[in-house]
């Protein structure tokens, strides 16, 4: 990411200031979405000790952000944070409930500094309720929300998701969405507010089909492997001759009929919704007769809702992603390689940008402190006394 690129318009959120105290994955993913669209995201990190999450130099959720390191147990560091928050639009934290009160950086405290502040708390189980202090991670939240119960086969038990659904969708994306909604409300009323993002709540909201079946059947849906919620002959995953996999999503009758004709099995046209397992087994036998490449040649340009199951190497060379410039490979000055997904979504007039590689903890401490009006001598003393830390090494 060249200096020239950094001078381009940052995106639709250019001018928005976000102070980010989150760690792990949910909060950083959410603030990355804001940073990608132009927000000035200042990550406040601890000056020493082990990182509180996957803080890797090439971990792209840390891109487009500035980092400063503050020891918030020191009153002087908190005063610096208060100055940062005084003109900020958004404050995001991911501590367990009660920690911000002890650090004196809770919403009532910061609201006195900035009444219009949007304060977003991301936690596993929410800010209230009997489980508010319960420890957990993505897997636990998915289990509590019923997502894991339906994922996998009846005979093998629940299967862990390949990506962090509760963290990313139930936490990160939901926090970014809710922050934008709160900013719109502030634009209309002038009022800031506190947002309580519970990843367990967010995961629960990702389960509409299970709720639908539970409502209609009056009993809990059961885990059935390929016959899980939504899985039918026309909507399933099939193994090919070379032990690769393809997907069929022919929900509409016209797409299903086209597929059946291409397979020379018009007798299956009326069995699109068969839940007995017989039609699925028939298709399993058919798709096992050819390699994935052979099915690509037959089905790729046909209107049957077909797609092969790609691994990450194939994803990064996928023609659609390449055309839309959705895969970026960046090399830092020390040679660190970072392969990243591009900015989403696209804006016609104010597109988001990739302006900064993932920063090192404390990389921008001096820059940010100078912007707050502190002179170099004061910054030197604060660093010497462990209140702040800077990291300008490549």
User: What are the CA-CA distances from residue 19 to residues 3, 119, 216 (Å)?
Assistant: 24, 10, 45
DSSP character string of 288-341: TTS-HHHHHHHHTTSSS-EEE---HHHHHT-HHHHHTT-EEEEE-TT--EEEEE
Q: Environment class of residue 318 by beta-carbon count within 10 Å: exposed (0-12), middle (13-18) or buried (19+)?
A: middle
Q: How many CB atoms are located within 10 Å of the residue 167 CB?
A: 27
Sequence-distant (6+) residues with CB within 8 A of 166 are 138, 141, 142, 145, 147, 199, 200, 202, 203
Q: Which of 74, 137, 185, 196 is catalytic?
A: 137
Ordered alpha helix ranges (H), the chain: 3-6, 26-36, 75-86, 99-103, 107-113, 138-144, 165-167, 174-189, 199-204, 208-217, 253-262, 278-287, 292-299, 312-316, 319-323, 365-371, 376-384
Active site residue 137: yes
3-state SS class at 77: helix
CA distance 35 to 10: 9
Whole-number Å distance between alpha carbons of 232 and 142: 24
Q: Closest by alpha carbon to 18, among 70, 89, 76, 74?
A: 89
| 252 vs 10: CA distance, rounded Å | 41
Q: Which DSSP category does 107 fall into? A: H
Q: How does DSSP classify residue 225?
A: G
Asked if 364 is an active-site residue, the reply is no
Residue that is written with structure tokens 């000790």 in the block: 49
Where in the sequence numbering do the catalytic residues fall?
Answer: 137, 167
């Amino acid at each position: 990411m060249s200096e020239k690129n950094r001078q381009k318009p940052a995106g639709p959120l250019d001018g928005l200031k976000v102070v980010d105290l989150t760690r792990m994955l949910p909060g950083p993913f959410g603030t990355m979405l804001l940073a990608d669209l132009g927000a000035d995201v200042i990550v406040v990190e601890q000056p020493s000790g082990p990182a509180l999450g996957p803080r890797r130099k090439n971990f792209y959720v840390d891109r487009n952000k500035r980092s400063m390191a503050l020891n918030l147990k020191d009153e002087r560091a908190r005063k610096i944070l208060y100055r940062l928050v005084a003109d900020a639009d958004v404050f995001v934290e991911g501590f367990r409930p009660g920690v911000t009160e002890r650090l004196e950086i809770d919403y009532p405290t910061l609201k006195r500094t900035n009444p219009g502040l949007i304060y977003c708390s991301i936690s596993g189980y929410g800010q209230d309720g009997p489980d508010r202090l319960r420890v957990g991670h993505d897997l636990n939240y998915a289990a509590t929300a019923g997502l894991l119960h339906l994922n996998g086969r009846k005979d093998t038990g629940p299967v862990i998701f390949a990506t962090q659904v509760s963290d990313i969708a139930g936490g990160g994306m939901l926090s970014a969405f809710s922050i934008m909604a709160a900013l719109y409300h502030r634009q209309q009323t002038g009022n800031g507010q506190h947002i309580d993002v519970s990843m367990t709540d967010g995961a629960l909201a990702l389960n509409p089909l299970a709720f639908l079946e539970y409502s209609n059947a009056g009993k809990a849906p059961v885990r059935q492997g390929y016959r899980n919620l939504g899985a039918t002959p026309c909507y399933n995953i099939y193994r090919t001759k070379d032990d690769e996999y393809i997907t069929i999503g022919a929900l509409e009758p016209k797409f299903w009929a086209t597929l059946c004709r291409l397979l020379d099995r018009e007798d299956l046209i009326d069995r699109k919704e068969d839940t007995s397992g017989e039609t699925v087994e028939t298709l399993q036998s058919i798709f096992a007769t050819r390699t994935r490449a052979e099915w690509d040649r037959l089905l790729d340009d046909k209107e049957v809702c077909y797609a092969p199951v790609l691994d990450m190497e194939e994803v990064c060379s996928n023609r659609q992603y390449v055309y839309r410039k959705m895969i970026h490979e960046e090399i830092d000055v020390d040679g660190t390689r970072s392969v990243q997904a591009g900015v989403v979504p696209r804006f016609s007039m104010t597109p988001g940008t990739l302006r900064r590689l993932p920063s090192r903890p404390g990389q921008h401490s001096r820059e940010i402190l100078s912007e707050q009006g502190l002179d170099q001598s004061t910054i030197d003393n604060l660093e010497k006394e462990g209140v702040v830390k800077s990291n300008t090494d490549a």
